[in-house]
């Protein structure tokens, strides 16, 4: 037994001529607002407002930005600009002190390796926010409203807590 499977489930049905119901409503509301303003305003002001209103209605009905309807793009823009932004993580980068060491003829290679290891440990500490000792690390971060957690790798890390009240 064969069944018919709908294939175009993403497209809206054309209800009023070549327009979907949503497009027809946008254009109809724009035309209705223009007709109402025709009886309320002078001709030159009505013409300017009609161009703006019908242009906005046509943009809402027909324009797509990256495959999304213009109404959804406007809605997302309003939500982005008028709702508060929550920054969950803000990395702290502390300046490392620069040390100059005199170079020796024979022992320069070993010192360079040691400095490279120290630099690697310092860079890891800057990236993860970890300090020299775990006790100081916990006390300092908790006083700054941080929460300590262990990653899957077992490393301790801290993230700034955000209270939504």
46-86 per-position pLDDT tens digit: 999 999 999 999 999 999 999 899 999 999 999 988 887 77
- Whether 122 and 158 map to the same domain: the answer is yes
Domain boundary among 30, 59, 82: 82
Query: Which contiguous run of DSSP H or E holds residue 76?
Result: helix 70-82
Quick check: 50 and 44 in contact, CB under 8 A?
no
**What is the value of pTM for the model shown?**
0.47
pLDDT of the residue at 111: 63
- Whether 131 and 73 map to the same domain: the answer is no
Structural domains of the chain, count: 2
Enter the DSSP assignment of 66: T
Q: How many angstroms separate the CA atoms of 70 and 56, rounded?
A: 10
- Whether 130 and 157 map to the same domain: the answer is yes
Confidence band of 155 (pLDDT split at 50, 70, 90): confident
Print the domain residue range for 165: 84-96+118-165
- Whether 60 and 88 map to the same domain: the answer is no
Tell me if 41 is assigned to some domain: yes
Domain boundary among 82, 106, 126: 82
């Amino acid at each position: 037994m064969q069944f018919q499977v709908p294939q175009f489930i993403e497209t809206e049905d054309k209800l009023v001529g070549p327009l979907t119901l949503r497009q027809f409503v946008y254009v109809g509301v724009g035309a209705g607002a223009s007709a109402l303003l025709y009886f309320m305003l002078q001709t030159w002001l009505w013409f300017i407002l009609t161009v703006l209103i019908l242009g906005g209605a046509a943009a809402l009905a027909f324009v797509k930005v990256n495959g999304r309807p213009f109404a959804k793009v406007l809605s997302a823009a309003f939500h982005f600009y008028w709702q508060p932004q929550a920054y969950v993580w803000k990395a702290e980068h502390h300046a490392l002190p620069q040390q100059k060491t005199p170079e020796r003829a024979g022992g320069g290679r070993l010192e360079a390796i040691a400095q490279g290891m120290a630099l690697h440990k310092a860079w890891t500490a800057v990236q993860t926010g970890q300090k020299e000792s775990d006790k100081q690390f916990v006390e300092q971060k908790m006083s700054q409203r941080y929460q300590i957690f262990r990653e899957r790798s077992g490393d301790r890390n801290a993230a700034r807590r955000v209270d939504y009240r």
